[in-house]
């Protein structure tokens, strides 16, 4: 399973989906996250000014849920570019942003489901984790 920024933030911010997402991640065994996603998470935490130090918070999150961090490679770059072309903001109801496209690309490259919040990815051909 691949984890998107929206799911990570929902857990960290205590949003209504927190418990369900936490359970899914805790029992997933082998969930992964893109370095692009972690960069977006850092930006979100900084912009929300939630008093969290992004690196420390995300390192703890990675350890807690035993996530594998996957760097962006050439295959993912190509898949992300195609995702932006097909599902990007201004082109499609999914309205994927750049970092969404990397979550999409990692899930596609691994043929894995994606854990996310919201309905953006529901408008794509990605397999949802829940």
100 annotated as ligand-binding:
yes
| Best CA proximity match to 73, nearest among 114, 35, 111, 125 | 35
Give the ranges where 88-124 is alpha helix by DSSP (H): 98-110
Q: Which long-range contacts (CB under 8 A, 24 or more apart) does 87-95 make?
A: 87/123, 87/124, 92/123, 93/123, 94/120, 94/121, 94/122, 94/123, 94/124, 95/120, 95/123
- Extract the annotated binding site: 4, 100
- Extract the annotated binding site for Mg(2+): 4, 100
């Amino acid at each position: 399973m691949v984890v998107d920024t929206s799911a990570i933030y929902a857990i960290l911010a205590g949003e209504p989906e927190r418990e369900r997402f936490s359970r899914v991640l805790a029992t997933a065994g082998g969930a992964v996250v893109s370095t692009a996603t972690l960069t977006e998470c850092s930006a979100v935490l900084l912009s929300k000014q939630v008093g969290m130090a992004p690196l420390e918070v995300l390192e703890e999150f990675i350890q807690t849920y035993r996530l594998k961090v996957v760097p962006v490679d050439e295959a993912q770059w190509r898949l992300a570019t195609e995702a932006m072309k097909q599902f990007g903001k201004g082109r499609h109801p999914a309205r994927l942003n750049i970092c969404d496209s990397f979550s999409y690309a990692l899930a596609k490259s691994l043929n894995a489901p994606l854990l996310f919040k919201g309905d953006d990815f529901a408008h794509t051909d990605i397999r949802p984790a829940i």
